[in-house]
């Protein structure tokens, strides 16, 4: 945060551009500069927030201050037959009042009702879905612009701000955690003794990617590192992961003899396993390796490096995430963080839940098919409903999302537990929303979690194809109790 800011200088290019924008609305610099100073203090000096949607936060804050002043003056003045004579600068569309007194030349002398109506005309800009600016439009202001400078409370290496340009939604309540945490009964065995020589590179030094030959940690990715020296995911690896996501039936699956997803404890019955895709994993170096923390094969474990922002998208989708910088294809964005639950715990949590669900569970089923009998405490999943990180706000988008989830092995060689990392699957421009295809089958009526009505807006929307409509309903669905355990097709709902 900025504590004692120096007076803003109009020679500063960023300050000058902000004032040029407010001058277009006949707002003088003497009104702009104090509000701009306050916004910069509240946002920790983040100019990205100030410039959002053609400076709409700044403009809205200025008019809010004027409205408060007007209301204060109106309540304290008792003359003029119970009405206040309020002197204000003319907004761009207001005509000069005829018959104004000599002492108020060039000003409007308005009664309280007229002044309040004039001040309710607020000027904001709204960007298109792509984030590009639009022409100024006149629009009534609903509530004040909301800003949270850092939702991580300092737990990440970068600040992640939250903004609501509409001002109609409550700030979401949840506990931000930068790492996965065991809820209660999940079995998570992490120890150095379990990492054998073949699963680490103890003899490496510095950066493994700079060595002449790939180290043992590249074995999982066919003897080649998954990352480039620039820290991006290699295109061939990324494209293969994307193909597996789009066409899973083309790739090998493993089948459980006793699958947790179809295990019914109450009836003592067992259904048929539908198969688990043998996914491509990234294996990163870890504590037993000789390389340092800046090794090119330690990307996900170093945490978030991108400039991200949580923002209120619209009434249909709720909160979402956008990037404040251009992201090239293959960029690591963030990890999906949440509570580590057993599949049974998640099932029981869903049954107890009386509120609407706002996030989605992710099943960690990468190693289920290799066990003859998988115990309940070993069948794990992640749930970010109560505790999670910024990834809990990633919205769904059918078919043409710009993120993909990829499993990452770091601290344990087995696949009972691993990390879920999001990477960009194409170049993403600053201010674009970051989205992820949850791979929802909207026609599956038997799934224990009923699907929401999709509002992704994609031309390839699977819900639109299923229902034959655009799918813009605001309806949110509740968890439906079922005898069947919740599976990997877990559903997401509007964020809160």
| Structure confidence at residue 95 (pLDDT) | 35
Q: Which helix (H) or strand (E) holds 181?
A: strand 181-182
Domains of the chain: 13-141 (1.10.8.850), 178-304+326-438 (2.170.270.10)
Question: For the whole model, what pTM was predicted?
Answer: 0.69
pLDDT in tens, the chain (496 residues): 444 567 888 888 889 888 888 887 778 888 899 988 888 887 778 888 888 777 888 888 888 787 777 666 655 554 444 443 333 333 333 333 333 334 443 333 334 344 333 333 433 333 333 343 334 444 444 445 778 889 999 999 999 999 988 777 888 889 999 999 999 999 888 888 888 888 899 999 999 999 999 999 998 898 999 999 999 999 999 999 999 988 888 988 888 877 877 777 666 667 788 888 888 999 999 999 999 999 999 999 999 999 999 999 887 788 999 999 999 999 999 999 999 999 889 888 887 876 655 567 888 987 776 666 777 778 899 999 999 999 999 998 988 999 999 999 999 888 889 999 999 999 999 999 999 998 877 666 555 455 567 888 888 888 765 554 333 322 222 233 333 443 333 333 333 3
**Strand extents, DSSP E, 183-275:** 253-254, 263-264, 269-270
Going by their DSSP bridges, the two strands 269-270 and 361-364 should be labelled as: unpaired
| Structure confidence at residue 356 (pLDDT) | 55
Look up tokens 């910088």; give the residue.
325
Residues 45, 38: contact at Cβ < 8 Å? no
In the chain, helix, strand, coil percent, each to 5? 25, 20, 55
Q: What is the dihedral of CA 227, 229, 232, 237, to 10 degrees?
A: -30
Max CA separation in the chain (angstroms): 93
State the Rg of the chain over Cα: 27
Residue 341, SS3 per DSSP: strand
Which tokens go with 404?
A: 């993909």
DSSP category for residue 16: H
Distances (CA, A) of 367 to 200, 219, 360: 20, 18, 21
Which tokens go with 350?
A: 């869903």
Beta pairing partners, 409: 283
**Per-residue DSSP letters for 410-475?**
-S-SSSSS-EEEEEESS-B-TTPEEEE-----TT-TTSSSPPPPP----TT-HHHHHHTS------
For residue 471, the Cα-to-chain-centroid distance in whole angstroms is 22
Distances (CA, A) of 451 to 130, 382, 466: 26, 19, 12
DSSP category for residue 195: -
For residue 344, the Cα-to-chain-centroid distance in whole angstroms is 28
Residue 424 burial by Cβ neighbours in a 10 Å radius (0-12, 13-18, 19+): buried
């Amino acid at each position: 945060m900025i504590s004692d800011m120096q007076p803003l200088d109009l020679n500063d290019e960023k300050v000058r551009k902000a004032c040029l924008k407010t001058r277009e609305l006949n707002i003088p610099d003497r009104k702009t500069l104090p509000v701009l100073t306050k916004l910069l203090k509240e946002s920790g000096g983040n100019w990205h927030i100030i410039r959002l949607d053609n400076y709409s936060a700044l403009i809205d804050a200025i008019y809010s201050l004027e409205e408060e002043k007007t209301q204060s003056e109106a309540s304290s003045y008792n003359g003029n037959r119970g009405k206040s004579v309020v002197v204000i600068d003319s907004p761009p569309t207001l005509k000069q009042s005829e018959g104004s007194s000599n002492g108020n030349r060039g000003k409007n002398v308005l009664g309280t009702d007229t002044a309040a109506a004039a001040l309710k005309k607020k000027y904001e800009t709204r960007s298109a879905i792509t984030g590009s600016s639009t022409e100024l439009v006149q629009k009534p202001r609903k509530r004040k612009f909301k800003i949270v400078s850092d939702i991580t409370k300092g737990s990440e290496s970068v600040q992640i701000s939250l903004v609501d340009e509409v001002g109609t939604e409550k700030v979401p309540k949840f506990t931000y955690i930068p790492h996965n945490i065991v809820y209660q009964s999940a079995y998570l065995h992490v120890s150095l003794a379990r990492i054998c020589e073949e699963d680490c590179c103890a003899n490496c030094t510095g950066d493994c990617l700079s060595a002449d030959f790939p180290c043992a940690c590249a074995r999982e990715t066919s003897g080649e590192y998954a990352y480039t020296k620039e820290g991006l995911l290699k295109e061939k690896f990324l494209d293969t992961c994307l193909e597996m996501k789009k066409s899973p039936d083309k790739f090998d699956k493993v089948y459980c003899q006793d699958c947790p997803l179809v295990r019914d404890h109450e009836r003592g019955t067992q259904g048929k396993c539908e198969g688990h895709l043998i996914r491509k994993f990234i294996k990163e170096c870890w504590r037993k390796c000789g390389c340092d923390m800046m090794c090119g094969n330690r990307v996900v474990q170093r945490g978030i490096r991108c400039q991200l922002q949580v923002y209120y998208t619209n009434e249909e989708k709720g909160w979402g995430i956008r990037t404040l910088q251009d992201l090239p294809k293959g960029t690591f964005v963030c990890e999906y963080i949440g509570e580590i639950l057993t599949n049974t715990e998640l099932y029981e949590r869903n049954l107890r839940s009386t509120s609407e669900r706002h996030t989605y569970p992710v099943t960690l089923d990468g190693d289920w098919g290799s066990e003859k009998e998988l115990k309940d405490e070993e069948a794990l999943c992640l749930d970010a409903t109560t505790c999670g990180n910024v990834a809990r706000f990633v919205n769904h988008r059918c078919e043409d999302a710009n993120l993909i989830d990829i499993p990452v092995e770091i601290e344990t060689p087995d696949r009972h537990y691993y990390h879920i990392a999001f990477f960009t699957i194409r170049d993403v421009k600053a201010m674009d929303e970051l989205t992820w295809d949850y791979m929802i089958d909207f026609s599956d009526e038997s799934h224990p979690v009923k699907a929401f009505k999709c509002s992704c807006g994609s031309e390839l929307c699977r819900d639109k194809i299923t229902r034959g409509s655009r799918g813009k309903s605001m309806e949110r669905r509740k968890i439906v109790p079922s005898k069947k355990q919740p599976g990997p097709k877990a559903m997401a709902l509007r964020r809160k």
